[in-house]
Structure 1
Amino acid sequence: MLDPDENEITVISFGFTCKRSGQHKQRYDSKVKHTIVHIINIFFANQPNDAILYMCMTNDGKARNRHIIFNNWYHELNNGLEKHSSSSEHGKKGFYASILFKSNNPQKMRLISAFYFTIDYWGLNNL
C-alpha cells in the first residue's frame, strides 16, 4: 500500500480458492472459518504490529457473499482487532477489500490512511 506521501507500506495478504472434488453442489464448510480464524490469530500473536489486507475476488460473482461472511467472522472474533473496509459504493461495483490490524497498533492511523489512499491511488474510486 501507499500512504498519502506515497511511501510504501508493506502489509501481508493471503488468499485461498475453493477446489471442488467433483460436480457436487458447493456447500458451506465450517472448517474453512476455523482455519482462517486460526491463521489470523496466529499471525497477530506473532506479528502484533503488522496488518492483513484481504480482497474478495469477483471472478465467480460471489465477492459480496464472501465479504458478508468475512465481516461476520470478524465480529465473532472480537479479539482486539480493528477492520476497515472499502466503501459500499465500491461494493456496488464488485470491489470488496478490508484491512485488519490490532486496535493498539502504533501505526494504526498510518495504516488506515494508506488503505484508503491506495484505493484512490489505483483509481478504484472510478470503477
Structure 2
Amino acid sequence: MKHLYDPRVKATILSVINQFFEKNPSGVLIATLESLDHKQQGRKLLFNRWYQTSGVVQEIAMHQATISVEDIQLSHLLLIREDNPYYRKVIRAFKEFIELLKQYK
C-alpha cells in the first residue's frame, strides 16, 4: 500500500515551528507520538526527514527518546534552539522525564 503525503502538511508544520521559535526564542516544543494506530514509527521517520531537510538543523536541536509503557510505544521529541540560555537545563529535565517514564513499564 502506497502512502501519499500532502506537501502542504510539511510546509504547515515547519511554518508553525519556525514561527514559534521566532516569537519564543527561549521556548521549547515537545511532541509525543503514540502507537495506538500503529503509525507512530512512520510519523517519526517522516518528521525526522522533514527536520533534516528543513534547514533548521543548525539553529534548532532535536532530542528524541522512545519508550514502552503498558504495551504502547511512546516516541517523545523535544525541539529547542541551540542558543537557548536554558539549553542544558532543559535537556537534563527532558532526560530525567524520560527516565521517570521508564519506571512505568
Q: TM-score, normalised by structure 2?
A: 0.83
Residues 39-78 of structure 1: CA deviation (Å, up to 9, x unaligned): 0000000001010001112121000111111111111123
Secondary structure of 1:39's match?
helix
Matched, 1:78 2:59: no
Q: Secondary structure at the match of 2:30?
A: strand
Counterpart in the other structure of 1:110: 89
Paired residue secondary structure (2:46): helix
- 8 Å contact 1:81–1:102 — kept in the other structure? yes
Superposition RMSD on alpha carbons, in Å? 2.0
What is the CA-CA distance between 1:126 and the residue it aligns to? Answer: 4.9
CA contact (8 A) 1:81 1:101 kept: yes
- 1:9-64 deviation digits (Å, cap 9, x = unpaired): xxxxxxxxxxxxxxxx9631111111000000000000010100011121210001
TM-score by length of 1: 0.70
- Given the alignment of the two structures, is residue 68 of structure 1 paired with residue 41 of structure 2, yes or no? no
The answer to whether structure 1 residue 124 and structure 2 residue 102 are counterparts is yes
1: CA distance, partners of 2:46 / 2:83: 25
Question: Runs ≥4 in structure 1, deviation > 6 angstroms?
Answer: none
* Structure 1 unaligned blocks of 5 or more: 1-24
Q: Where do 5+ consecutive residues of structure 2 fail to align?
A: none
Contact 1:82 1:102 in 2 (8 A): yes
Tell me the percent identity. Answer: 27
Q: Which structure has more strand as a fraction of its residues?
A: 2
Q: Within 2, Cα distance between the matches of 1:36 and 1:46?
A: 16
Asked whether the equivalents of residues 119 and 125 of structure 1 are also in contact (C-alpha less than 8 Å), the reply is no
Structure with the bigger RCO (C-alpha within 8 Å, sep 6+) is 1
Work out the CA distance in 2 between the residues paired with 1:32 and 1:40: 12
